């Protein structure tokens, strides 16, 4: 391994000078700079991040905790994080949530010993334990979920997004709209979305019909059954995830109902799954990749922490249309 000393010797200067040149500090002649740069190039020298971090306490890693289960969403966010981090010279260290909390504690400790610049948490809320484990120096931010504690976060306004989605179906002429909710445990995603749906329905004078799912594909079919049991004449289903939406589309066709002629289906997230059914799912898009980038920027500018709301977008595809009666 070639060290700063080797370079210094090669260039006929002291290690300190080499360091100065590398870090663009002042205090050397142009001639020595050139000699040093020549030596660096010649020896193909690369400074040791570890030693540097040990000394300066300035780190170059960002921690990323993702739930590697329902992945399409996390995957998009990760792409944004990875891009933004690399651009700025940061490395990304990966961990999984959705595992035992002792694991995530261990992971946070590792990040602390690596003096991470910050931690990004996908689809999970920041707990006081996490905050405490990281210590005051390391910021943590959540993505795609916003508790109302004022913790740093990047997320859409879930309540408003669901409200807009429901309004869209109402405007198409639907009155009997069922909601296939996500895991009710997920207080900060499923609940605001449900509130948004209810608000729109109530404003329009329509009755609400809801069933609880898990966000996963498997819960789509039983959820649909529950909804149809409550109201067999539903003309639209709003699912809180594309996976459930896709399952609903498939299941409806199995039951002999056409989409969207008999029943419209609307998904959520605009993950690739939404394109994997026919007709393709209309859905609410979150700017996931951008959210990952924003999270990195916020972490690195540690002042602007606090919640950041990004815009959702309605994407119209083949799975929604006006209801039978009004067409």
Cβ proximity to a second copy: between 110 and 148 the closer is 110
- 254 is a contact residue toward a second copy (CB under 8 A): yes
- 171 is a contact residue toward a second copy (CB under 8 A): no
Residue 247 binds: one of DNA, a second copy, none (C-beta under 5 to 8 A by kind): a second copy
Please enumerate in sequence order all residues whose Cβ is within 8 A of that of 318, keeping only pairs 6 or more positions apart, or say none: 259, 260, 278, 279, 280, 282
Residues 29-88 that bind DNA (CB under 7 A): 29, 31-32, 45-48, 51-52, 54-56
Span from 111-119, 147-155, 189-197, 305-313 in contact with a second copy (CB under 8 A): 111-119
What is the spatial distance between Cα 95 and Cα 68, in angstroms, rounded to a whole number?
9
Residue 256 binds: one of a second copy, DNA, none (C-beta under 5 to 8 A by kind): none
Span from 27-35, 85-93, 130-138, 234-242 in contact with DNA (CB under 7 A): 27-35
What is the spatial distance between Cα 189 and Cα 175, in angstroms, rounded to a whole number?
24
What track of x and - describes contact with DNA for positions 228 through 267 (by CB under 7 A)?
A: ----------------------------------------
Beta strands in the chain, from DSSP E residues, in sequence order: 61-67, 91-97, 118-122, 140-143, 153-156, 177-181, 209-212, 236-239, 264-269, 282-285, 307-310, 313-315
Cβ proximity to DNA: between 14 and 110 the closer is 14
- 160 is a contact residue toward a second copy (CB under 8 A): no
What is the spatial distance between Cα 191 and Cα 282, in angstroms, rounded to a whole number?
21
Binding residue (CB under 8 A) for a second copy from 115, 199, 257, 317: 115
Which one-letter DSSP state was computed for residue 280? Answer: P
Cβ proximity to a second copy: between 60 and 127 the closer is 60
User: Within 172-287, where are the H helices?
Assistant: 190-203, 220-230, 242-254
Give first-to-last CA distance, the chain, whole Å.
74
Residue 56 binds: one of a second copy, DNA, none (C-beta under 5 to 8 A by kind): DNA
Which one-letter DSSP state was computed for residue 207? Answer: -
Measured CA distances, 135 to 71, 117, 138, 213 (Å): 29, 12, 6, 37
**Maximum pairwise Cα distance, the chain:** 87
Is the bond preceding residue 260 a cis peptide, omega within 30 degrees? yes
Radius of gyration from C-alpha coordinates of the chain: 26
Residue 269 binds: one of a second copy, DNA, none (C-beta under 5 to 8 A by kind): none
Closest separation in Å from C-beta 297 to DNA: 24
Please enumerate in sequence order all residues whose Cβ is within 8 A of that of 239, keeping only pairs 6 or more positions apart, or say none: 180, 213, 220, 223, 245, 248, 265, 266, 267, 268
Nearest 5°: CA angle at 52, between 121 and 305? 30
Closest separation in Å from C-beta 47 to DNA: 4
Residues 65-94 that bind a second copy (CB under 8 A): 68, 71-72, 75, 78-79, 82-83, 86, 91-94
Cβ proximity to DNA: between 36 and 161 the closer is 36
Binding residue (CB under 8 A) for a second copy from 26, 29, 50, 58: 50
Q: Which residues bind a second copy (CB under 8 A)?
A: 46-51, 53-54, 61, 64, 68, 71-72, 75, 78-79, 82-83, 86, 91-96, 103, 106-107, 109-110, 112-115, 217, 243, 246-247, 250-251, 253-254, 272-273, 275-278
């Amino acid at each position: 391994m070639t060290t700063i000393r080797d370079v210094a010797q090669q260039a006929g200067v002291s290690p300190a000078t080499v360091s100065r040149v590398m870090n663009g500090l002042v205090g050397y002649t142009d001639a020595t700079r050139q000699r040093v740069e020549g030596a660096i190039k010649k020896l193909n020298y690369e400074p040791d991040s570890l030693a540097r971090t040990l000394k300066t306490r300035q780190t170059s890693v960002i921690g990323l905790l993702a739930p590697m289960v329902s992945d399409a969403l996390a995957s998009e966010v990760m792409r944004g994080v990875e891009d933004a981090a690399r651009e700025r010279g940061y490395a990304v260290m990966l961990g999984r949530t959705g595992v035992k909390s002792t694991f995530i504690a261990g992971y946070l400790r590792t990040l602390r010993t690596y003096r991470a610049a910050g931690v990004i948490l996908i689809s999970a809320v920041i707990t006081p334990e996490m905050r405490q484990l990281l210590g005051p120096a390391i910021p943590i931010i959540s993505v795609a979920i916003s508790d109302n504690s004022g913790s740093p976060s990047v997320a859409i306004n879930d309540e408003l997004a669901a409200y807009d989605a429901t309004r869209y179906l109402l405007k198409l002429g639907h009155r009997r709209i069922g909601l296939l909710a996500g895991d009710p445990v997920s207080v900060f995603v499923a609940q605001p979305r449900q509130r948004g749906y209810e608000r729109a329905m109530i404003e329009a004078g329509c009755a609400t019909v809801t069933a609880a799912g898990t966000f996963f594909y498997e819960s789509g079919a039983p959820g649909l059954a529950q909804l149809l049991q409550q109201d067999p004449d539903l003309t639209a289903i709003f699912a809180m995830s594309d996976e459930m939406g896709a399952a609903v589309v498939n299941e409806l066709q199995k039951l002999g109902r056409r989409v969207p002629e008999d029943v419209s289906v609307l998904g959520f997230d605009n993950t690739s799954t939404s394109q994997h059914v026919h007709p393709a799912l209309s859905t609410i898009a979150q700017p996931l990749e951008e959210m990952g980038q924003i999270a990195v920027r916020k972490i690195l500018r540690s002042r602007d922490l606090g919640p950041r709301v990004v815009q959702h977008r309605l994407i119209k595809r083949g799975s929604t249309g006006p209801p039978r009666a009004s067409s």
